[in-house]
Structures are given as C-alpha cells and as structure tokens.
Amino acid sequence: MMKRTLLIAAAVLGLSAPAFAAGETPVPPQLKWSFQGPFGTFDRAQVQRGFKVYREVCASCHSLNYVAFRNLSQPGGPEFSEAQVRALAAEYKIQDGPNEAGDMFERAGRPADRFPSPFPNENAAASANGGKAPPDLSLMAKARTYERGFPWWITDVFRQYSENGADYLVALLNGYHEAPQGFTVPEGGHYNEYYPGHVIAMPKPLSDGQVEYPKNEAGQPQAPETVDQYARDVTAFLTWTAEPHLEARKRLGFQVILFLIVLAGLLYFTKKKIWARVGGEVEGHATPPMTHNP
Amino acid sequence: MSQHSTTYVPKSAFGQWFESRLPIAGLIHSSFIAFPVPRNLTYFWTFGAILAFMLVAQIVTGVFLAMYYTPNAGMAFQSVEHIMRDVQYGWLIRYLHANGASMFFVAVYIHIFRNFYYGSYKAPREVLYILGVIIFLLMMATAFMGYVLPWGQMSFWGATVITNLFSAIPLVGETIVSYLWGGYSVGNPTLNRFFSLHYLLPFMIAGVVALHIWALHVPGQNNPTGIPIKSGKDAVPFTPYATIKDIFAVVVFLIFFAYWVFYMPNYLGHADNYIPANPAVTPAHIVPEWYFLPFYAILRAIPDKLGGVIAMGAAIVIWCFMPWLDTSKVRSTAYRPLYKQFFWVFVGVCLVLGWLGSRPAEGWYVIASQICTVYYFAHFLIVLPVLGFVERPLPLPNSILESVMGVQKGGAGMPAGANAEPQSKG
C-alpha cells in the first residue's frame, strides 16, 4: 500500500515537475478598483496620473487610436479642463491635408484629433520593435483576461467581477523577473511571470521613480512613484480608454433596474387583482398521486 | 383560427365596414383576447411572450446599429468602436443587442426544455413543435453571423472554423464553402454576405414565429397536467389573464437582462473579440458563444470531421422526431415518475456538454464528451421509445380544474359563450 502511494506520489511529482520548470502561469491577484461594483467611478486623480504614465512611457511605442484629445475632458474620465486639453493637443504635430496645392502638411493638434500613432504604419512599428508591432492600447483592458475556472466563473456573475483585464495588466507590468533556473529566454524576448508562455517581446517598461507625479500641499508626490503604483494608475487609465462610458453605464443601470423593480411590483399586484375575478391564480398541477375522491 | 373570429362583432359602423373587408381585428381578437388559455399555466409558459419581446428588441436595436455599422473588413471593427464611443447611447444599444442575443437563447432554452418536460411536442402539436425547431435553427444561424460582424479575432476565427465544417460534406462541400466565403478564405466578401443575411434572417424568424403562433392556436396551449381543456371552467380568456401575466414576466426578465447589460456587459463575450481580426494570428482557444457550446462539444467528440458535422446536425434534427420517438401516451412528466429522472439526467448531460465545449479538445475532456454524446443520442433513441412501454404513469386528473382546485371548488373560468373549446383534443 505504502509502496503504491509512493509510486503515485512520484508519478504526480514527475508529471508536475516539467510543468513547474516550464512555469505554470500564476493567477493575477485581484486588486481593489474604484471603478468596480455597481456604483463604481473612476478616481480622477488616478486616471490623470495614469494618463501621465501612458504619455511619458507607453506612448513611445503604443498607439491609442480610438481615443481623441477631446475625450480627456469628457465627463466620466480624467476630466481635464477644456483649456488643458487644448494646450495638450497643441503639443502634438498632426499630419493633415492635402491642402489646396495638393500637399500634406503638419499642423498643431486640436481637441477633435485622435492621439497620433508613434509609428507611421504597422510595418514601421514592427520593424522598430523586433518584428512585432506593439498593440494599440485603446481596448487593452477589455482585450485581455485570464482563465477563472470553476466555480469562480459562476460567482463572478454575482459579485460583478469584470476587472479581469485590469488585474491581468497590473500583474503583467509587475511580472518582470529574472528567468528561473533552466528557463532559456530566446533572443529579443523577456521573461514575464504572468505572460502566457512567459516570453514577452516588450522589455520591462516601468521602473521606480521614472514618472514624476503631481505634488500635494506637503510637497510630497500624491501617490508613491513605484512600479506597482504606475502599473495600477496606467491600468485605471486604460480601463477608461477601453470603456469611456463606464460611469454612465453603471449610473443608468441603477436607475433602470430600480424602475423595473417598481414596475414589476405594480404589475404583480395588478395581475393578482385581475386573477381574483376568476377565483385567484392557480398554477401547475396537484402533486401526484392524485386524490380522486373528495 | 377562423372559428374564433365569429365571436368578434365590431361596435362602430366603420369597424363593421372594415371587418367585412379585412377581418384583421377579428383575428387579433380571437388570437390574443378571447383565445382560451388553460388556467393552470405556470411561469414556464410566459417564455413565448418573452421570446416574442426579445425578437422585437433584437430587431429594433439591430436596425439602429446598422445605421452606424460599416460592413467592411477594414472598417467594421472601427465602426463598432465608433458606436461604443461617439454615438449617443451607442454603447447602450450595442450592449443591449449583444447581450440580447444571449438572453434570447436563455429564454429559448427554457422554452425548449419546458416543452420537453410537459410533452408539448406530442400530438396534436407536432407541426407547431417542428416550426419551433426551425426557428431555433434560424436563431443559431443569425447569432453566429451576428457574432462575426464586429470583425474581432473571435469573429474571424469562429467564422473560419464554422464555415470550414461545410467542407466536410462530400462532393459539394468545397463549393458550398467558397460560396459562403465569396473567395478562398474568410474575408471582406464573407463579412458583406454575413451582414446581409444577418439582417434578413430575423425577418424570416418573424415569419416562422407567425406560423408557430398560428399552429399554436389550433390545438391551444399545453399545460402542466398535459390534459386538454375539457370545459370552459378549465380555461380563462387570454386577455386579460395571460396578457397581464406575460407582461409581468417580461418585466422580470428585463431586470435579469438589464443586470447583464449594465453590470456585466462583456462577461458573455470573449476578450479576444476586442482585438481586431488578424488572419496571421490564431487565438490560443477558438471557442464559440456559450449557447453553441453543447453542440460544439458533440462536434469535437467525433474524431472524424464529417462524422462530427453529422453528429452536430443530428443533435438538433433529432428533436424533430421526438413526437414519434416518445411512445408514452402521457404528456406531462409530472405523471411520469421514471421519465422525470431521465429528464433531469438529460438536462445534466446537456449542461456538462456545454462545459466540455468550453474546454480544449484534449485528454479526458474528449472522452467525457464522447460519453455525453452517446448518452445524448441514447436519450432520444432508447430512453424515449422504451420508457413508453415499461413505465407505469401516475393516474391523471379528470380535468385541469380538478387537478388544481380539487373537485368541488371551481372559479368562473371562461365567460359563457366565449368558451370555444380548442378544435382538437389530442
């Protein structure tokens, strides 16, 4: 018996050992987000900091094609002032044209412009980045997820867990480590604990102190200038870019559901009253076996 | 249907003039007002109304989406994002439409399994039932093509996998696939024709729904006892009794629908579909929408491609033979103690198949899929025919009224004169 147990244990270890060497992808930790739950809203300061991280770090390689400058001042996002957005847009050079002479020309950005891409086209992006174009970040927080598994995919519905993408992004940005013993990272790749397969083309993008955060009254940065904080802030920003109407959606949802519950209640009593005319509502069938004799 | 219309007499002179030329008011009156409804229907019988509502909701939201959507491989994804970001309440319309498809299937599966449980498919409702199966097939085609339209990764690769299935058909398979694609692979022509068909099929569904309702109004509705209406006291007029119950049920269903739309709008989709379609990159797992998963599991359970396609098709076509495969004289499972157990095992097998459809086709998942597939077909080909002979059903009540109220009591029921019995008593 003992021998058999040992054999099974050896078999299990034998099976799991290569899996461990290849590195099982760990499950990203679930973080607290201001935008989770039925009343979630974006933390303005956090989304503004996240935008700063995007602009100073990510934007050198990643486009944000679906976001226009004007979006930054819309309600439910970073909510910069319109003047701030105009000034920000003017810092960008936008290619426009053709003009009356048929020439393309550059002009200062306007709020209605979308964020210009860091590369003129996908091929240029790929050739500058080791053969693979860095993906657009507009929808990144909705375009990534991780396996939840049973029974969590059921409980997620009830606790409204839909921050899978955000949790994955923070884990990924924090997931750059030395490759474990025996793991060879191919040329041009980088080891990342949370990336499927662990070899990611993107080098570690963030380091402590890299982005300067706005100061509070005491002259201290309003949030720690650490990789983890940068990762959370830029992820909050990207969650907004992926779902710019998230706040309006949740707000309207509460009103709609409240209305429907009241309406359902009124209809229920109306129905009761109507059915009372025929002696009340009766449903289904008597529990068999039937009693035929009165 | 025409029999009922005799009870309708228009009050106004214009009404009488019009009715003698186009008796549509009489048709509506007989179908949705005076129509006798068994008085013991449970909420499982409200899903017909819920489905009718969902069909209209999908068509209305879809028409608005089509005003902004661009069916072009280079612009489709972008146009969907335009709807989500820039169109006033575009996000709401799109989430209603995308989650509405799932809600449509939630409701239709409840509707179908209610029909299985209470034997609604049996004589005299076979044609009504087969029309329902046709609606379900049209729904599947519509939902599949709709999921292709955003032109994300799962759209593209889902379309590639599913259209490729047709190539398994001998001789004409390759030709069919190239007609579906409009070329040699899934591309812009595919998207164009899918958009066209996605707009067309819902109206075909609406047409078959009209036939489905028409066929329903000949024998009348089944009910939890499975025994037909025998006297006016067994029934109540459709309006206001069934109408108010249906409206209440639709609103409760809307609460459920709204929860998904406003709080979990992307849960029922795939993250990969927020990545634009890329023919050069295959997603790690190509998985269909949840409502196709049991059939997908059956497809993959068969190691042979053609065999898998046949099994998947047969899994639905076999429903059409249920009225004849089921040999039991008793409709309602409430009076079939043995079948009741097999029914719930069958429900369990369908759910397990759904889960297996979401797993990669490897290892013991394949074996489990094969066992469940065999059981799925055995339910129709062995359990249904054999049980009718070996099972001893419980005694049936004498009437609907007796079953729910006891023998002495009895409410008003159908008003005198309006208690037109359904024409046939199965």
Across all residues in chain B, what is the average pLDDT? 93
- The Cβ of residue A116 has, within 10 Å, a number of other Cβ atoms equal to 16
Task: Give the residue from B87, B95, B256, B259 with the most A CB atoms within 10 Å of its CB, the best one to mutate.
Answer: B259
Across all residues in chain A, what is the average pLDDT? 90
Q: Which of residues 169-228 of A touch B (CB under 8 A)?
A: 196
> Please, where in chain B does CATH 1.10.287.980 lie?
287-397
Of A135, A250, A279, the CB nearest to B411: A279
The Cα–Cα gap between B371 and B297 comes to 11
The pLDDT score that the predictor gives to residue B413 is 66
Q: Which of residues 138-177 of A touch B (CB under 8 A)?
A: 138-139, 142-145, 150, 156-157, 160, 162, 164-165
The pLDDT score that the predictor gives to residue B411 is 55
Cite the annotated binding site of A for heme c by residue number. 58, 61-62, 202
Note the pLDDT tens digit of each residue in A171-187: 999 999 999 999 999 98
Note the pLDDT tens digit of each residue in B355-387: 999 999 889 999 999 999 999 999 999 999 999
Of B85, B403, B413, the CB nearest to A278: B413
The pLDDT score that the predictor gives to residue A150 is 85
CA separation (Å) from B58 to A11, A82, A133, B55, B146?
Answer: 54, 38, 38, 5, 11
Of B224, B258, B284, the CB nearest to A285: B224
> Please, where in chain B does CATH 1.20.810.10 lie?
23-285
Encoded tokens for A18:
């290569």
Of B92, B263, B397, the CB nearest to A286: B397
The Cα–Cα gap between B160 and B154 comes to 9
The pLDDT score that the predictor gives to residue B415 is 57
B248 to chain A: which residues are within 8 Å by CB? 264, 267-268, 270-271
A146 to chain B: which residues are within 8 Å by CB? none
Least confident of A8-12, A68-72, B140-144, B261-265: A8-12
Give the DSSP per-residue string, chain A. Answer: -HHHHHHHHHHHHHHHHHHHHH-PPPPPPPPP-TT-STT----HHHHHHHHHHHHHTGGGT---TT-BGGGGGSTTTT---HHHHHHHHHTSEEEE---TTS--EEEE--TTSBPPPSSSSHHHHHHHTTTSPPPP-TTHHHH------TTHHHHHHHTT---HHHHHHHHHHT-B-PPPTTPPPPTT-EEBSSSTTSEESS-----TT-SPPPB-TTSSBSS--SHHHHHHHHHHHHHHHH-TTHHHHHHHHHHHHHHHHHHHHHHHHHHHHHHHTTTS---S-PPSSP----
Q: Which comes out higher in pLDDT, residue B322 or A22?
A: B322
> For the whole model, what pTM was predicted?
0.92
pLDDT band of residue A23 (cuts 50, 70, 90) is low
Contact A148, A132 (CB under 8 A): no
Contact B374, B297 (CB under 8 A): no
Residue A13 pLDDT exceeds 80: no
Q: Which CATH class is domain B287-397?
A: mainly alpha
Instruction: Tell me the one-letter amino acid at A178.
Output: E
Q: Quick one: chain B helix, strand, coil %, rounded to 5?
A: 65, 0, 30
Domain regions of chain A by residue span: 23-67+114-178+214-253
Is B403 in CB contact (< 8 Å) with chain A? yes
The Cα–Cα gap between B414 and A45 comes to 66
CA separation (Å) from A279 to B36, B236, B404, B412, B413?
Answer: 17, 11, 12, 7, 8
Encoded tokens for B232:
């006016």
Residues with Cβ < 8 Å from B275, sequence gap 6 or more? Answer: A135, A139, A143, B152, B153
Residue A151 pLDDT exceeds 70: yes
Nearest CA distance, B40 vs chain A (angstrom): 4
The pLDDT score that the predictor gives to residue B414 is 67
The Cα–Cα gap between B236 and A218 comes to 76
Contact B373, B301 (CB under 8 A): yes
Nearest CA distance, B173 vs chain A (angstrom): 34
Give percent of chain A above pLDDT 90.
82
The pLDDT score that the predictor gives to residue A207 is 96
Contact A105, A93 (CB under 8 A): no
Residues with Cβ < 8 Å from B262, sequence gap 6 or more? Answer: A249, A250, A252, A253, A254, A256, A257, B95
* Cα within 13 Å of Cα(A270), Cβ side: 16
Q: Does B255 contact A261 at a Cβ distance shorter than 8 Å?
A: yes
Please, which residues bridge with residue A105 across strands?
Answer: A96
Instruction: Tell me the one-letter amino acid at A113.
Output: D
Encoded tokens for B338:
């043995």
The Cα–Cα gap between B360 and B367 comes to 12
In three-state form (DSSP H/G/I as H, E/B as E, the rest C), the secondary structure along B266-309 is CCCCCHHHHCECCCCCCCCCCCCCHHHHHHHHHHHHCCCHHHHH
Q: Which CATH class is domain A23-67+114-178+214-253?
A: mainly alpha
A294 to chain B: which residues are within 8 Å by CB? 406-408
The Cα–Cα gap between B100 and B377 comes to 30
The pLDDT score that the predictor gives to residue A98 is 94
Contact B61, B97 (CB under 8 A): yes
The Cα–Cα gap between B163 and B27 comes to 42
* Cα within 13 Å of Cα(B387), Cβ side: 25
Q: Tell the CATH topology of B23-285.
A: Cytochrome Bc1 Complex; Chain C (1.20.810)
Contact B419, B236 (CB under 8 A): no
Please, which residues bridge with residue B235 across strands?
Answer: B38
B336 to chain A: closest CA residue: A288
The pLDDT score that the predictor gives to residue B404 is 79
**pLDDT, mean of residues A79-104:** 95
Q: Does B274 contact A157 at a Cβ distance shorter than 8 Å?
A: no
The pLDDT score that the predictor gives to residue B292 is 97
Mean pLDDT by 10 residues, chain B (426 residues): 59 93 92 93 97 98 98 97 97 98 98 98 97 98 98 97 94 95 96 98 98 96 94 92 97 98 97 96 93 96 95 97 97 96 98 95 94 98 96 92 65 52 40
Q: Which of residues 254-293 of A touch B (CB under 8 A)?
A: 254, 256-257, 260-261, 263-264, 267-268, 270-271, 274-275, 277-286, 288-290, 292
CB pairs under 8 A between A and B: 143
Handedness of CA B29, B30, B32, B37 (dihedral sign): positive
Residue A166 pLDDT exceeds 80: yes
- Containing H/E element for B36? strand B36-38
The pLDDT score that the predictor gives to residue B120 is 97
- Residue A182, class by beta-carbon neighbours within 10 Å (0-12 exposed, 13-18 middle, 19+ buried)? exposed
Instruction: Tell me the one-letter amino acid at B13.
Output: A
The Cα–Cα gap between A283 and B42 comes to 5
Residue A20 pLDDT exceeds 60: no
Dihedral-angle region of residue A289 (phi above 0 means left; psi in -120 to 50 means alpha; beta otherwise): beta
Helix axes B188-216, B173-181, angle to 10 degrees: 100
The pLDDT score that the predictor gives to residue A17 is 37
Of A157, A162, A257, the CB nearest to B258: A257
Q: By C-alpha distance, which of B155, B164, B56, B176 is closest to B107?
A: B56
Contact A289, B395 (CB under 8 A): yes
